[in-house]
Amino acid sequence: MSGGVTQHQVGAEDAGQRLDRWLRKTYPALPQSLFQRLLRSGQIRLDGKRAKAATPLQLGQILRLPPQLTAADAEAAPPRGEQETPEAKAALESLRAGLLYEDRYVLALNKPVGLAVQGGSGQRISIDRLAAGLVPPGAAAPRLVHRLDRDTSGVLLLAKTAAAARHLAESFKGRSARKLYWALVQGVPRRRAGRIDRALAKQGQQGQERMQADPEGQAAETLYATAATAGAKASLLVLAPLTGRTHQIRAHLAAIGHPILGDFKYGATKQAGEAGLLLHAAELAVPHPEDETTLRIAAPAPAAFLAACQSFGFETKSAELAVAQLEARGA
């Protein structure tokens, strides 16, 4: 793109997407607040008219993109050769080593702890910026279709085509994507298995926001089952989020008084989480974008998570057995 106003004609791979989602996909390093500001001021236009974030794109429409987007994108983009820094090379090798599954439509990784999924202000190394290195030179970079927190490990799915990205995004938006997490938490839930049904809303000052239970917030549901306990000190839980709110599992566990070990943002005590956030995305099942058959991918837990389990005398096989309780509840 040049530094002035640019125009983009909506093609077949863009048609049907919401405008805000297209912007996030096209400019992954830029904040949502910038898109909102440019839409409100009418600087992003669709067929010459003001557009709203939720407007669906239609084949052949012309998007007007202002120079602010181009300039901000250029500033946020990694400098030439950044992929060759020692840190970037190490991160890319870690992703390659964690490849769980690949075909011509999708690619699944076992995301390591500490690596951001999406780049942002001050975040120079992230999976979306390294994704092009996971495919042969000249191939389109795989696209993110869902997110994991920086300090959460486990299954991360990327799409290798625009059509696959749309299909998978719809799966995550609805309830056809089945996600299972393991978490080590403080204390022992009173009920061995249950449903956490608490609406969530973002609260707090900028830079210190966190999701909290709020009757006026967005609906959020999480199923859980207790796999193992260590007296009254800690538990190993298996969880299935039925909705996809930001920090949903972390906020829900904090709301019932059992924050994840190491999750100081959501109330874990300093004595309880020396190994970092002990949350692992253990399994993901989605309809495959080619033929709707179930694609099921499991990710082994990282060494720090396993060591923490061992310190409490927990066996991860107990987590696998607890999955049956969730399935009985409709996970």
CA distance linking residue 185 with residue 273, whole number of Å: 9
Running DSSP on this structure, what letter comes out for residue 297? E
HSE of 104 in the Cβ direction (CA atoms, 13 Å)?
2
Please pick, among 20, 128, 149, 263, the residue that the annotation labels catalytic: 149
CA distance linking residue 171 with residue 148, whole number of Å: 16
Cβ neighbours, 10 Å, residue 131? 21
Give Cα separations from 171 to 157, 239, 329 (angstroms). 12, 19, 20
CB 316 within 8 A of CB 182: yes
CA distance linking residue 156 with residue 170, whole number of Å: 16
Tokens describing residue 125: 């190394």
Cβ neighbours, 10 Å, residue 119? 20
CA distance linking residue 19 with residue 28, whole number of Å: 14
**Residue type, position 230, single letter:** A
CB 186 within 8 A of CB 272: yes
Distance of CA 294 to the CA centre of its chain: 20
Told to judge if 149 belongs to the known catalytic residues of this protein, a careful annotator would answer yes
Q: Which residues are catalytic?
A: 149
